[in-house]
Amino acid sequence: MTATGAARATQLVVATRSVPPRRRQTRRDRLLAFCLVAPTAVFLAAVIGYPVLRAVWRSLFSDPITGPARFVGLDNYTRALVDSGPDSADFRAAFQFTVFFAAVTLLLEVLLGLAMALIMNRAFRGRGLLRTSVLIPWGIPTAVTALLWAWMLQPDGIINSVLGLDTIWTGSEWPAKWALVIAETWKNAPFVALLLLAGLQVIPAELYDVAKADGAGLLARFRYITLPMLRPALLVVVVFRMLDALRVYDLPQILTGGANNTTTLSMLVVDASIHQTNYGYGSALSTLTFLLIFAVAFLFIRTFGMNVVQSLRQGVQE
């Protein structure tokens, strides 16, 4: 279990430090602790807790043109999830595309990022230059990335001329989807590479030496040393990128404007609450998006986080 694993680790750390004998907490101590924590707690409640709760509360009300909003219970949620109107069709389409986008970009970014990290981890002349230049796409603001790719993907743009194609990238469904996947991967693979490179650098070289002496080939060393040792870094990367991809807004908004079935959940939220001024329905959509992302993150950490701790413990025991 994660909890016990973490607890053990904490105990281990605590045990190695010199802990002063535990004193009984006095009333004054508790007051002091409370006063020290209070400003942060109030601040967090104001900037995180309040908006989230406010959105949930607002999602239970109607969106009249004039006059006060009426309490409608879960109507806004059934409108997005159950009703047979265009709204639920839009929500379903946005949900499907968002999940597709997150899954495909994640896979490509991890594969590409891993390859880049492995290359950058080797010692060769100009390594510093390579490491810096690889990061450039990640340093470019997303809005600029989107415009850059929009220009390159124009029907008479550089991509078509170099590849000898006459694809109209933003003019039909699958080219538009792939255009987004390519732009997103181009921008974020360096970030993945950077984090994985950090993970690679803490793997002790002795492990490889020993494996080599035992006759392990390149693939075997990768499979049995690199991958398991890289697991904690991979987990962080995957969680970060997945959450980012699930709430993506700026790139598709600028590159395709949501046309050709490339509307993401976040775009739907902005459209409902800002453009159509339907704050109730928009809040319901944003709550649903929040729940989706929360659930994915939770499940992911529950499933894989546990394995990370387990593999670490196994590593220690072996």
Partner 1 sequence: MRHPVSIVAALAVLTITATSCTGPTPNDGSGRGPITFVRGKDISGKSPPMLDRWNRFHPDERVTLVELPEKADDQRSQLVQYAQARSDRFDVLALDVVWTAEFAARQWIVPLDGAGINTSRLLRSAADTGVYQGHRYAVPSNTNAAFLYYRKDLVPIPPKTWKELIDDCAIARRHNIGCYAGQYAQYEGLTVNVSEAVHSAGGEIVGNDGKDVLVDSAEARSGLGFLVDGFRLGYIPPEAITYKEEESRRAFQQGRLLFLRNWPYVYGRASEPGSDSVVQGRFGVAPIPGEKGIGKSTLGGANLAVSEFSRHQKTAVDFIKYLTGDWAQRYMLREMSVAPTLAALYDDPELRQQRPYLLMLKQALRDAQPRPATPYYNEVTLAIQRAAYRALQGQETVDAAVREMADRLRRAGS
Interface ranges with partner 1 (CB under 8 A): 34, 37-38, 41-42, 44-46, 49-50, 53-54, 65-66, 85-86, 154-156, 168, 170-172, 257-260, 271, 274-277
| Nearer Cβ to partner 1 (122/275) | 275
Question: Min. distance of Cβ 283 from partner 1 in angstroms?
Answer: 14
| Nearer Cβ to partner 1 (42/210) | 42
| Nearer Cβ to partner 1 (170/188) | 170
Question: Could you count the other beta carbons within 10 Å of the beta carbon of residue 238?
Answer: 17
| Nearer Cβ to partner 1 (176/233) | 176
d(CA 184, CA 176): 12
| Nearer Cβ to partner 1 (37/115) | 37
Question: Min. distance of Cβ 219 from partner 1 in angstroms?
Answer: 45
Question: Min. distance of Cβ 99 from partner 1 in angstroms?
Answer: 21
Backbone angles phi, psi at 104, to 5 degrees: -70, -45
Structure tokens at 172: 């039909």
Helix residue spans in the chain (DSSP H): 2-16, 27-44, 50-58, 75-81, 86-120, 127-134, 136-139, 142-152, 158-163, 173-201, 205-213, 218-221, 227-246, 250-255, 265-270, 279-300, 306-317
d(CA 306, CA 301): 7
Cβ-in-10-Å burial (0-12, 13-18, 19+) of 31 comes to exposed
Question: Min. distance of Cβ 88 from partner 1 in angstroms?
Answer: 12
Question: Min. distance of Cβ 38 from partner 1 in angstroms?
Answer: 6
